[in-house]
Amino acid sequence: MSKVLTPEILAKSGTEHGEQLAVMQWAALNMKRFPELRWLFAIPNGGGRSAIQGARLKAEGVKPGVSDLMLPVARKGYHGLFIEMKKAKILPSSVRPEQKEFLEFVLDNGYQGEVAFGWIRASQIIENYLT
């Protein structure tokens, strides 16, 4: 019998990757409540990569500082929502200058942009945005 992968289990790794997996699992589990979650997607800008893979992604248009998640749904006067994911138990100083710059840019251009320290905070941001 296989174990059900709940957001809590996915986030147990304590990594940003685990937290983001948990957000996506939370979204999958809440699509009946919020059908718009179907369009929540990840932007592959972070993570360790080989030099060759990094060069390929850069050539494809990957940009440093761009947030990890995007929900292209207009709500509350915003065009959509960007979320920069961080591990649950780290300091706000872990947000890099280019990430702050991107969030300021999206806010100036009619999008909501937030930093989420952990999957629970990210799910709260999304739920607040959609309701």
Could you tell me the pLDDT band of residue 65, with boundaries at 50, 70 and 90? very high
What's the pTM value of the predicted model, to 2 decimals? 0.88
- Assigned token pair, 40: 């929540």
pLDDT of 10 over the 80 cut: no
Specify the CATH number of the domain 7-130: 3.40.1350.10
Q: Report domain extents, the chain.
A: 7-130
pLDDT digits (tens, 9 = 90+) for 77-116: 999 999 999 998 877 778 999 999 999 999 999 999 999 9
Handedness of CA 86, 91, 92, 98 (dihedral sign): negative
Encode 51-78: b = buried (16+ Cβ within 10 Å), e = exposed.
Answer: eeeeeeeeeeeeeebbbbbbbebeeeeb
Distances (CA, A) of 127 to 13, 18, 62, 81, 98: 24, 20, 28, 11, 26
